[in-house]
Structure 1
Amino acid sequence: MRRRQFLLHTAGLSGASALGLTACSSDGDATTLKLLVASYDESVGSSIGDQWSGLIAAFEKAHPSVKIDMERVPFNKLDRTLARRVKDGDAPDIAQSNVFAPYAKDGKLYSASDLFEIRTEADFTRSYAEAGSVKHIQYGVPFLASTPRLFYNKALFKQARITAPTSWDELVSAAQALKALGVKTPYGLQLGPEAAEDEMLSWLLADGGGFAGLTSYDFNTEGNVRTLTWLRDELVGAGLAGANPAGLNRTDAYAQFMKGQIGMLVAHPVLMSAADKYRFPYAHTAFPRRQGGAAAPIGLSDWLMAFRQNGNGEASGTFLSYLYGRKSAKAYGGGQAALPVTSSASAALRADSAQRPLWKFIDQMPQAQFQPVNLLSWPMVRAAIRKEIGAAVMKGGSPRAVLESLDMAAAQAEL
């Protein structure tokens, strides 16, 4: 939730983010959908509710046979609220969540092919559509998508006479130069419990590793041990990642970067809005592979899903098709807080010179690699990663022991 507060307080939200939930009803011949999505802190300056109100008003004008009601659930209560309502037999028609796989497994969701025409379904960025799939059928519709890059402080880099790193050796050299300048945390290694799995996966992918093999989790591999050992010895042990990377959360890392206390870090495009607001000197580049070149980027997304319970698949499909249509997707699916998740909207933003700051992020979305969000056990495994992974890279830490522990936790979660 703290990550969300930072994202929204600093950048607002150009994309859709807050639908609601009320009882399903009928107004004459009109079908009223019940919709459940996140709400955010009211102190956020961007008029999230107004944006959605405008979208819904335009939709209802174009489709008078479908009405939309709204209730907002705080983001940090969203998944629990949805799970409880589904269990109680009060499933919404459409909901936002971090979790879709359990509902898909239980046969509670419409598939994307049930909801969209072929043209619209095929328009989703393939990497995100695949991440939203269970057994090769898409149930999770990507929403509030993002992909990070390596941000760095241009002023500090200029002062240290260094350039953006393109390999891990260059990253270490840059971090050493920043340390010589007195930078408190040359590289912001974000292994605190807020989003440690994102930072970890960025490094593992950059060294040919990852979280899973072909059919199951596979943490304890020689490649993953090699990666974490390098982080422990070459980055953390050398004093290049601050005093306590195991406790550094994303929200705090972003704030420290803006204060000049962190020289470089993995960050999402939303950080640009805060930096631009304060005219902070930053740039970003692809996260480097160990031996050089651009690493496979990670992809992140919330998900929308449509529930079967009320039998409103046609109306739900009509609304979602409007939301992800070629015109709406650009207006409501882009911006520095949420990247577009359709090829047509990406192309439109990519052709708009005013959106130039987003181009590099958009360009890497098709190559994005995801955490195993389509596995029922992922929430439990993610919790284990957040709890344990930081210890692997601290002084005296044992990468292999931690990875073995994660494999055991994954096996238990799978059971």
Structure 2
Amino acid sequence: MTRLAALMACTALSATAAQAETTLNALFMAQAAYSEDDIRAMTASFQEANPEITVNLEFVPYEGLHDKTVLSMGSGGGYDVVLFDVIWPAEYAGNDVLVDVTDKITDEMKAGILPGAWTTVDYDGASYGMPWILDTKYLFYNKEMLAEAGVEPPATWEELAAAAKAVKEAGIVEYPIAWSWAQAEAAVCDYTTLLSAFGGSFIEDGAPAFQSGGGLSALEYMTASMEDGLSNPNSKEFLEEDVRAVFQNGDAAFALNWTYMYNLANASEDSSVKGKVGVVAAPGVMGVSEHSAVNGSMGLGITSTSEHPGEAWEYIVHMTSQPVQNEYARLSLPIWASSYTDPAVTEGQEELIAAAEKGLAVMYPRPMTPQYQEMSMALQQGLQEALLGMASPAEALEGAAENSGL
């Protein structure tokens, strides 16, 4: 081989090596839905099939996910793949945070994924990623406690209050209900569930509408449950993991929480309520609704600053694929319609699947508006003021409406 040929061969090998060293940076949340171990295992299987791609994973609490994504856009390095909430596509689309991947969505994806899941990533006629977590909040209950109190799982929110009162009066547990009512997005999710049950609206004709009608009834229900001693007073400081801890320790008869709590509380060795956990779709209100639910779904998208959008899309397709979702369906249910008749998914969690069939069908959206962050912050503050007794529900919601940015 001539010196020139050798040089060319070395150059070719160097180019191949460079191609084999693509690194993706991916941002996920460190709570609810899939566990960190699940995400690492999913990623490992992708890397095994694609040895030329390395994926660096970063986990942050949900509360830091939005700001971490937005701030990274001007940092030069940033992320290639980010997890995003159903409430952010409007803002992200307007600020060029995510890549429009509409032309990458295949007919198989469109036909196979549950219609409601697409609301997670779609805005103004375009798709900004793939749905990944299809989730809503369910009403969990302790079967043993309800049997001891002689009550059935409630079908309405009024029945929940009555059942909680029976549990309390029987001396089974001091505060029968646990909620995620800290001044955070978690409280807005619980409030949305109740607002949907009472037939409320967030926005009408471009103006806030939650301060009256079903929106007001929802907050009045929340404050009444506190005043009546039915809800754990520390709910005002609880996030979802706090609710799981209280329920899993046997200190609550009822809890509103996401899908992931079912198997963690019902099957984990460290759970004191193992085998006693029941779950139903969140209740409705007599004459208004049969069930209630909040759309708490999340998607995976490619940032507009990614230098490897092709590889990032390959990774997203893997993470959202039906085989991967079916394999890790214990903490988050699949986005694929046919998965719900697959024994690998349903076995051992038939009760959860039954609740999901009702809850996922009525998921109520938080407002899809570019001003959502401002609106949510105002609403979080208003909810907290009412729960702390600093203002009446009507006063608190009027203040939130005035500060909503709408």
Per the normalisation by structure 1, the TM-score is 0.79
Per the normalisation by structure 2, the TM-score is 0.81
Which residue of structure 2 aligns with residue 304 of structure 1?
300
Q: Quick one: distance in 1 between partners of 2:232 and 2:238?
A: 9
- Is the CA contact (8 Å cut-off) linking 2:146 and 2:167 kept in structure 1? yes
> Quick check: 1:92 aligned with 2:79?
yes
Identity level (%): 18
Question: SS of the residue aligned with 1:127?
Answer: helix
Q: Quick one: distance in 1 between partners of 2:78 and 2:111?
A: 27
Which residue of structure 2 aligns with residue 407 of structure 1?
401
Residues 96/168 of structure 1: CA separation in 2 closer, same or farther (3 Å cut): closer
AA aligned opposite 2:163: A
Q: Quick one: distance in 1 between partners of 2:387 and 2:83?
A: 35
Query: Unaligned 5+ residue runs, structure 1?
Result: 1-24
Question: SS of the residue aligned with 1:410?
Answer: coil
Q: Note the 1:49-128 alignment, pairs <5 A.
A: 50-60=40-50, 67-75=53-61, 77-98=64-85, 99-128=88-117
Residues 178/358 of structure 1: CA separation in 2 closer, same or farther (3 Å cut): closer
Question: SS of the residue aligned with 1:304?
Answer: strand
- Is the CA contact (8 Å cut-off) linking 2:29 and 2:83 kept in structure 1? no
Structure 1: which 4+ aligned runs deviate by more than 6 Å?
A: none
- Is the CA contact (8 Å cut-off) linking 2:210 and 2:397 kept in structure 1? yes
* Equivalent of residue 191 in structure 1, options 159, 181, 199: 181
Structure 1 residue 158: deviation in Å? 1.0
Which residue of structure 1 aligns with residue 254 of structure 2?
264
* Equivalent of residue 360 in structure 2, options 354, 357, 365: 365
Which residue of structure 1 aligns with residue 12 of structure 2?
none
Residues 394/49 of structure 1: CA separation in 2 closer, same or farther (3 Å cut): closer
Q: Quick one: distance in 2 between partners of 1:27 and 1:121?
A: 36
Q: Quick one: distance in 1 between partners of 2:36 and 2:300?
A: 21
Query: Unaligned 5+ residue runs, structure 2?
Result: 1-14
Q: Quick one: distance in 1 between partners of 2:180 and 2:68?
A: 29
Q: Quick one: distance in 2 between partners of 1:52 and 1:381?
A: 35
Structure 1 residue 58: deviation in Å? 3.8
Question: SS of the residue aligned with 1:209?
Answer: coil
Q: Quick one: distance in 2 between partners of 1:386 and 1:341?
A: 29
* Equivalent of residue 353 in structure 1, options 332, 347, 352: 347
Which residue of structure 1 aligns with residue 133 of structure 2?
144
* 1:333-383 per-position Cα deviation (integer Å, ceiling 9, x unaligned): x222x22123244443686424435413542324322223x4222223222
* 1:56-93 per-position Cα deviation (integer Å, ceiling 9, x unaligned): 234316xxxx6233142534654333322212344533
Which residue of structure 2 aligns with residue 343 of structure 1?
337
- Is the CA contact (8 Å cut-off) linking 1:130 and 1:138 kept in structure 2? no
Residues 181/249 of structure 1: CA separation in 2 closer, same or farther (3 Å cut): farther
Greater CA radius of gyration, 1 or 2? 2
* Equivalent of residue 227 in structure 1, options 210, 218, 236: 218
Structure 1 residue 283: deviation in Å? 0.9
Residues 150/112 of structure 1: CA separation in 2 closer, same or farther (3 Å cut): same
AA aligned opposite 1:69: V
Which residue of structure 1 aligns with residue 123 of structure 2?
134
AA aligned opposite 1:101: A
> Quick check: 1:294 aligned with 2:290?
yes
Residues 130/335 of structure 1: CA separation in 2 closer, same or farther (3 Å cut): same
Paired residues in the alignment total 378
Question: SS of the residue aligned with 1:158?
Answer: helix
Q: Quick one: distance in 2 between partners of 1:377 and 1:350?
A: 41
Q: Quick one: distance in 1 between partners of 2:306 and 2:235?
A: 47
* 1:306-359 per-position Cα deviation (integer Å, ceiling 9, x unaligned): 134456444433332333333233225x222x2212324444368642443541
Which residue of structure 2 aligns with residue 283 of structure 1?
278
AA aligned opposite 1:326: Q
